[in-house]
């Protein structure tokens, strides 16, 4: 994708030299946070064992059916003793989800699915270890059951759930179509604060919860070295997340975010910061003469636009750009308008573009392998913009064709 000589980036730049290549922060951040966690030995072992356990439980239709039956029994038991609320859409049968390195938030969803199916998973692994026909299947189930009941596995599973529940918000937010780089700074700050609060306040509650789970299943307390779990696992895993967030949002990226915020109508207007933003991060789009002219534009802009009653209601940079064009002020401030457009077209995620590439698998299938480029383009456009297409009336399309002039058909 990003190859400078033969990759997609190189092909795009040949067609449009002014195009910008953007790393997908949502995808890249998710992979980086998981990789950082795996730097802790216990966390690395946990993810290896998590994959193994899910493979044992979900490797065949028979085991899958056994897991569903165990869920039904567990739900019925909890409802009978009054520990589970009933209602429409509640207590549905679920399945285990596999973590994948190329899928957003899949590790978090995988951990959550195993936590919800923890008791049924134990029941099924016991059945496989006792009743399965081959010794290899019995051995795999026995090993998976031992790991699932171990203090190390349960501790790291709950720890990673807590950590990933805090980082998942920023990963998901970066995938939205409406998310731009100006709004990213607050998300980064709040995520760091939540992880820091977890480090300072959640140790004892996490330890007590895991102790209760392990005691209820194994009838013994496996905790012998509390210092090891607190320093080498708990603190180390959290510190790795904080370090990765700090490195991903490095000083230059953070500076870009901070300078971009100066364009936000809700913030205080700083002419010098806006000029720095244009000069430092967009040197190919603004010459030295343009920077001088931009300073002159900003002097007039400061006295004009912020004092306009209509513009005082504007809350986002996107609406500011639209307002400048609707009031024809973009003609008076062309350089500022150019800078705003550059900031708006620099999203923190290429999730939408990646989904567009993935959609081709849905359109060009084995049965449609000989589609022409135009037909593929048109079908892909309808699939990608299906939210808009769903609003189009089929009857209206039929009426449009009916009113077309009749054409001569050659036989």
Predicted confidence at residue 156, as pLDDT, reads 92
Range of the domain at 116: 25-248
Q: Using alpha carbons only, how large is the chain's radius of gyration in Å?
A: 28
Considering the domain architecture, whether residues 61 and 176 belong to the same structural domain is answered as yes
Considering the domain architecture, whether residues 276 and 389 belong to the same structural domain is answered as no
* Distance from C-alpha of 60 to C-alpha of 135, rounded to nearest angstrom: 16
Beta carbons within 8 Å of 295's beta carbon, 6+ residues apart: 271, 275
User: What is the dihedral sign for C-alpha 361, 363, 365, 371?
Assistant: negative
Predicted confidence at residue 18, as pLDDT, reads 62
3 within a domain of the structure (yes/no): no
Query: pTM for the full model?
Result: 0.68
Residue pair 346/20 in contact (Cβ under 8 Å)? The answer is yes
7 within a domain of the structure (yes/no): no
Considering the domain architecture, whether residues 338 and 367 belong to the same structural domain is answered as no
Cα angle 97, 99, 103 (rounded to 5 degrees) comes to 105
Considering the domain architecture, whether residues 392 and 243 belong to the same structural domain is answered as no
* Distance from C-alpha of 37 to C-alpha of 44, rounded to nearest angstrom: 7
Considering the domain architecture, whether residues 228 and 130 belong to the same structural domain is answered as yes
Our CA dihedral for 30, 35, 36, 38, rounded to 10 degrees, sits at 130
Largest CA distance in the chain: 88
Predicted confidence at residue 356, as pLDDT, reads 77
Predicted confidence at residue 153, as pLDDT, reads 93
Predicted confidence at residue 141, as pLDDT, reads 92
260 within a domain of the structure (yes/no): no
Considering the domain architecture, whether residues 329 and 371 belong to the same structural domain is answered as no
Considering the domain architecture, whether residues 360 and 339 belong to the same structural domain is answered as no
Residue pair 339/274 in contact (Cβ under 8 Å)? The answer is yes
Considering the domain architecture, whether residues 240 and 365 belong to the same structural domain is answered as no
**What angle in degrees, to the nearest 10, is found between the helix axes of 373-384 and 351-363?**
120
Cα angle 87, 54, 62 (rounded to 5 degrees) comes to 75
Per-residue pLDDT of the chain (411 residues; tens, 9 = 90+): 667 788 888 888 888 776 666 666 666 666 777 778 888 889 999 999 999 999 998 878 888 888 888 888 888 878 777 776 666 656 677 888 888 766 667 888 999 999 999 999 999 999 999 988 788 889 999 999 999 999 999 999 999 999 988 888 877 777 766 555 556 667 778 888 999 999 998 899 998 888 888 877 765 555 567 888 888 899 998 998 888 777 766 655 666 666 777 777 777 778 888 898 888 888 888 999 999 999 999 999 888 888 888 787 887 788 888 888 888 888 999 999 888 888 877 655 566 777 777 777 788 887 777 888 888 888 888 888 888 888 888 888 888 888 877 766 555
Considering the domain architecture, whether residues 166 and 312 belong to the same structural domain is answered as no
356 within a domain of the structure (yes/no): yes
- Structural domain count of the chain: 3
Predicted confidence at residue 99, as pLDDT, reads 83
Our CA dihedral for 338, 344, 348, 351, rounded to 10 degrees, sits at -120
255 within a domain of the structure (yes/no): no
* Distance from C-alpha of 134 to C-alpha of 141, rounded to nearest angstrom: 11
Considering the domain architecture, whether residues 203 and 280 belong to the same structural domain is answered as no
Considering the domain architecture, whether residues 117 and 237 belong to the same structural domain is answered as yes
12 within a domain of the structure (yes/no): no
Predicted confidence at residue 321, as pLDDT, reads 86
Predicted confidence at residue 180, as pLDDT, reads 56
Predicted confidence at residue 121, as pLDDT, reads 92
Out of 328, 344, 360, a domain closes at 344
Q: Dig out the tokens for 175 from the structure.
A: 């995938």
For residue 342, the surrounding DSSP H or E stretch is helix 334-344
Considering the domain architecture, whether residues 241 and 272 belong to the same structural domain is answered as no
Predicted confidence at residue 139, as pLDDT, reads 92
């Amino acid at each position: 994708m990003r190859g400078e000589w033969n990759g997609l980036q190189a092909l795009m730049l040949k067609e449009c030299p002014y195009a910008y290549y953007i790393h997908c922060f949502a995808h890249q951040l998710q992979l980086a946070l998981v990789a950082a966690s795996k730097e802790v030995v216990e966390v690395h072992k946990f993810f290896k064992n998590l994959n193994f356990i899910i493979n044992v439980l979900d490797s065949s239709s028979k085991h899958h059916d056994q897991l569903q039956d165990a869920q039904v029994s567990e739900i019925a038991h909890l409802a009978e003793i009054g520990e589970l609320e009933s209602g429409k859409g509640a207590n549905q049968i679920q399945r285990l989800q596999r973590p994948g390195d190329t899928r957003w938030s899949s590790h978090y969803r995988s951990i959550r699915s195993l936590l919800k199916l923890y008791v049924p998973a134990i029941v099924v692994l016991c059945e496989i270890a006792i009743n399965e026909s081959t010794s290899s299947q019995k051995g795999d189930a026995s090993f998976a059951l031992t790991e699932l009941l171990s203090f190390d596995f349960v501790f790291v599973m709950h720890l990673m759930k807590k950590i990933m529940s805090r980082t998942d918000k920023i990963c998901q937010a970066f995938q939205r179509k409406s998310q731009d780089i100006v709004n990213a700074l607050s998300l980064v700050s709040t995520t760091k604060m939540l992880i820091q609060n977890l480090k300072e306040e959640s140790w004892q509650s996490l330890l007590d919860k895991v102790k209760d789970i392990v005691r209820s299943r194994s009838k013994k307390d496996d905790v012998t070295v509390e210092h090891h779990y607190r320093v080498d696992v708990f603190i180390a895993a959290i510190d790795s997340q904080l370090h990765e967030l700090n490195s991903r949002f490095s000083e230059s990226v953070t500076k870009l975010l901070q300078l971009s915020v100066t364009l936000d109508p809700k913030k205080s207007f700083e002419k010098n910061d806006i000029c720095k933003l244009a000069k430092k991060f967009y040197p190919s789009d603004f010459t030295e003469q343009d920077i001088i002219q931009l300073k002159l534009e900003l002097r007039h802009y400061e006295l004009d636009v912020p004092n306009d009653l209509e513009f005082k209601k504007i809350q986002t940079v996107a609406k500011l750009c639209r307002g400048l064009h609707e009031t024809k002020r973009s003609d008076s401030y062309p350089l500022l308008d150019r800078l705003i457009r550059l900031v708006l077209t620099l999203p923190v995620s290429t999730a939408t573009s990646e989904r567009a590439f993935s959609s081709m698998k849905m359109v060009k299938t084995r049965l449609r392998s000989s589609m022409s480029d135009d037909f593929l383009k048109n079908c892909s456009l309808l699939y990608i913009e299906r939210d808009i297409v769903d609003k189009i009336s089929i009857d209206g399309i039929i009426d449009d064709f009916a009113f077309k002039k009749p054409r001569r058909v050659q036989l």
